[in-house]
Amino acid sequence: MLISYDWLQEYVDVDIEVPELAELLTLSGSEVDSIGSVGGRLDERIIVGQIVELCLHPDGKLLIAKVDTGQKPLALVTGAPNVAVGQKLPVALIGSVLPNGQVIEAVSFQGVTSYGMLCSEQELELGDDASGIMILPLDTPVGMPLTDALGLDDPIIDLEIYPNRPDCLSVLGIAREVAAITGKSLRLPTIKVMEAGSPIEDLTSVTVEDMKLCPFYSARVIRNIQVGPSPLWLQKRVVAGGMRPINNVVDITNFVLLEMGQPLHAFDYERLAEKRIVVRRAQPGEAITTLDGETRVLDQETLVIADAQKPVCIAGIMGGVNTEVNSETTSILLEAAIFQGLSIRRTSRRLGLRSEASARFEKGLDPSQVTKALDRATQLLVEIAGGEVSRGTIVVTTKLPEQRVVIFNPDRCNRLLGASIPQEEMIRILESLQFEVKLDKANQQLEVKVPSHRLDIELEADLIEEVARLYGYDRIPATLPKGVAQGGENRRLEVAAQVRNLLVGAGLTEIMTYSFDSPDSYRKLNLPEEHELGQAVTIQNPLTTDWSILRTSLVPHLLDVLRHNAQRQQHDLQLFEIGSVFVPEELPLTKQPDERLTLGIALMGDYPRDWGFPPREVDFFELKGLVEAVFDDLGLSCQWEKTNHPTLHPGRSAVVKVGNTKVGILGEVHPEVGEIWELPARAYLAELSLEAILAQISHEKRVDKLPRYPAVARDLALLAPDTILAQEVLEVIWAAGGDLVKEITLFDVYQGRQIPSGHRSLAYSILYQARDRTLTDSEVEAVEGKIITELETRLGITRR
């Protein structure tokens, strides 16, 4: 809401500077966004001039204007098509500087010297119009600097009005606030209408067919008006409110809209069929061409103002060209009404049409102001456009709501605020905001009558806010809550934090990506059409189709981030994300999807190089080791099974299980997928369901006693057919070794020279230890012998 400081002064005497006023408004709940002006200060030598004579330049195209500037007339040459004798316009005198920095000099146009320049709106940076010279109101004083004449530097305060305060969407509404904040009195405009001629009932009638959508409709008829440009003061106000002057009738309705917050509409009375008004829903297929030139097809949800035959206005939103006020108009029907906010809101959304008027209808209007606004506009029409007002006003309305009374308990107010505001102070504040307060001494409470413009006040809490905001939030002492409370982290987040700490400690960097994804991403993972990951929740109104579903996997964005970085010369990447994936139970969705907290890891390229070590590439086992470390850290042991997943390398992928529950998958990215995602090197992915892992975590932790007898470590080098899995070897050693084997460490895997083809060498270090004695060499050898025999008979493995 734009509020002109100058305009505001008409209703309340503000004796403080603008920044101070802005501060007071902000601290009382009308947030000041910025302080500006219509145009700022222009050069003093840009002044108001009037054309006294106009003649054609010898070249036959340009015009030579003789312009009165308050001193001796100047000859000015212009090519603008819109100038005429008698007009007032901005003149940039020689030596003046335009906002763009151009210095005006005497210029000769084929022998004729122009002693200055006539300016367009655009040249003065007052608007976009460059089609001709800016034409000023006829009562603009000649010779005056344009800045002063038009009030271009009048401070304009831009306020953000919260949706609960539609009563502040007007200069008077803000004046009311300012009066309450500063303790000054409010000066309302005097409204007086002189009626004459025939009663309105003889001239028109109003039928409201849907009182729910239009609970209040009022109209007046004004005849014999003269449509023309508005006087300077009116144009200034309209411009200060952020609107463009059109003609006196439209400017007056806009002025009253800005002044009182009540939208008005003027119809060309003569063009109304049967000269009457019907407020009704549109018939299906009915169309109207609105003032913006668009033809709009309407439906039954749309409320229209119609005459006897056709819609003439989309109620509360925009008028039709068929009854638009123009220079030929002599009589108008002026409307002031209230339309149901919800209906206006829906219609304006459907049509994509919002206006100053619709915004106000949506939020609600004060019923006591409607006919006042109608009369205010009527009064101005008579003053400015010289109309004659028919006797009476047509008012169609349901019973107006009674004035609300809210019980207010000053004690409770202080208890809620934690303040000790005296009761008299509370009463003073409420009365300054035009609440009527009655003290109920018996019950130690106040009966507060709510003024009709305060549609937002329903409960005591609403009044407490009024008291608090005018008392000043800064005057309420800051305290700390009473009572002791046990704070605490949430278990899910705690586990996520534990995993995050481990991975960061292991050199991985955390990323965070959008929950949105593209359906295409899942095709780009090589997944068949019917794959479960493709069954995703769809957003009805996505920003783009690339972001039209909710992710069912972290993998696509992990690959996105690998690619994004690789394209920026960063190929060595170790990263992870912890976030939710969204798994619908059924589609289309009938209930909320499952949100599963998920861990995704991606590795690509080399580990950071260091001068003491050879370069090391990431591989499957680096990734597997990270995942094992995660489980180990959570106190879980996991099992691995080979798997087949279209996104992963068929020979290099595995699922990981805890107990019998599958909790994740990992592997090398399938070369085809790597190519689709333009990855420059082999990449490795893991995706684990933290949700599933959480369910497995036990919080019990018990320590083992430390051994009392020494251990014996022995190496065992084996030659194994390469069809035998390491897991099988391990299982045989554990089984054959029995209780005496404490630890088995694989420290070398070798294939190549000296190893027969189809075989590999596996070297283990085995730790033997007994709880109750020191093992002898022969005991260890016996166990080792048993292990070797078992390996040989069960797996065909020999000792090297």
Partner 1 sequence: MRERLRQMRDEAWKRISEADDTGELDKLRVRYLGKKGELTALLRSMGSLPPEERPDVGKLVNELRGQLDDFLKERLHNLEARELEKRLEQEAIDITLPGRRPAFGRKHPLTQVLEEIETIFVGMGFEVVEGPEVELDYYNFEALNLPPDHPTRDMQDTFFISDDILLRSQTSPVQIRVMEKQEPPVRIIAPGKVYRVDVVDATHSPMFHQVEGLLVDEHTTFGDLKGVLGAFIEAIFGEGRRTRFRPSFFPFTEPSAEIDVECIMCNGKGCRSCSNAGWLEILGAGMVDPRVLQRVGYDPQKYQGFAFGMGVERIAMLKYGIDDIRLLFENDMRFLKQF
Instruction: Map the footprint of partner 1 across residues 163-182, applying CB under 8 A.
Output: 163-165
Which residue's CB is nearer to partner 1, number 462 or number 619?
462
- Whole-angstrom distance, CA of residue 332 vs CA of residue 269: 4
363 is a site residue for partner 1 (CB under 8 A): yes
Cβ–Cβ under 8 Å, residues 581 and 598: yes
Distance CA(779)–CA(3), nearest Å, equals 98
Q: Report whether 726 contacts 700 (CB < 8 A).
A: no
Q: Which two tokens stand for residue 567?
A: 């394209």
| Residue 352 binds partner 1, judged by CB under 8 A | no
Report the C-alpha gap between 532 and 521 in whole angstroms.
13
Residue numbers 3-42 binding partner 1 by CB under 8 A: 26-29, 31, 34
What is the three-class DSSP state of 143? coil
Q: What is the 3-state secondary structure (H, E, C) of 299-341?
A: CCCCEEEECCCCEEEECCCEEEHHHCCCCCCCCEEEEEEECCH
Identify residue 142 by its one-letter amino acid code. V
682 lies in the site for partner 1, by CB under 8 A: no
Binders of partner 1 among residues 712 to 741 (CB under 8 A) are none
| CB 354 to partner 1: min, Å | 10
Q: Within 547-566, which residues bind partner 1 (CB under 8 A)? A: 547, 550, 561, 564-565
Q: How is residue 88 written in tokens?
A: 């007032």
442 forms part of the interface with partner 1 (CB under 8 A):
no
633 interacts with partner 1 by CB under 8 A: no
User: Residue 133 or residue 503: which is nearer to partner 1 going by CB?
Assistant: 503
Residue 693 or residue 724: which is nearer to partner 1 going by CB? 693
Cβ burial of 644 (10 Å; 0-12, 13-18, 19+) is exposed
Structure tokens at 126: 């007052």
Quote the least distance from Cβ 497 to partner 1, whole Å. Answer: 7
Give the one residue of 70, 79, 608, 796 binding partner 1; rule: CB under 8 A.
608
The Cα–Cα gap between 713 and 728 comes to: 22
570 binds partner 1 (CB under 8 A): yes
Does residue 190 sit in helix, strand or coil? coil
Subset of residues 492 to 511 that bind partner 1, contact rule: CB under 8 A: 492-493, 497, 500, 503-511
Residue whose CB is less far from partner 1, 221 or 626:
626
Binding mask 367-396 for partner 1 (x = CB under 8 A): ------------------------------
In single-letter form, the type of residue at position 320 comes to G
From 459, 695, 725, 726, residue interacting with partner 1 (rule: CB under 8 A)? 459
**Residue 665 is a binding residue for partner 1 (CB under 8 A):** no
Q: Which is nearer to partner 1, 192 or 564 (CB)?
A: 564
- Three-state SS at 178: helix
* C-alpha torsion sign, points 647, 651, 653, 654: positive
297 binds partner 1 (CB under 8 A): no
480 binds partner 1 (CB under 8 A): yes
CB nearer to partner 1: pick between 570 and 727: 570
Measured from the CB of residue 576, what is the shortest distance to partner 1 in angstroms?
Answer: 8
Q: How far is the CB of 388 from partner 1 (least distance, A)?
A: 40
In the window 574-593, what residues touch partner 1 (CB under 8 A)? 574-575, 580, 582, 588-589, 591-593
Question: Per rule CB under 8 A, is residue 489 in the interface with partner 1?
Answer: yes
Candidates 111-119, 218-226, 303-311, 603-611: pick the segment binding partner 1 (CB under 8 A). Answer: 603-611
Residue 297 vs 342, nearer CB to partner 1: 342
Count of residues binding partner 1 (CB under 8 A)?
A: 95
Question: What secondary structure does DSSP assign to 651-715, as a single string?
Answer: EEEEEEEETTEEEEEEEEEPHHHHHHTT-SS-EEEEEEEHHHHHHH------PPPPPSS--EEEE
Q: Which of residues 397-416 bind partner 1 (CB under 8 A)?
A: 415-416
**Closest CB to partner 1 among 514 and 734?**
514
Our finding on whether 614 is near partner 1 (CB under 8 A) is: no
CA distances 165 to 160, 161, 187, 243, 405, Å, are 10, 6, 21, 22, 19
**Mapping DSSP to helix (H, G, I), strand (E, B) and coil, where does residue 396 land?**
strand
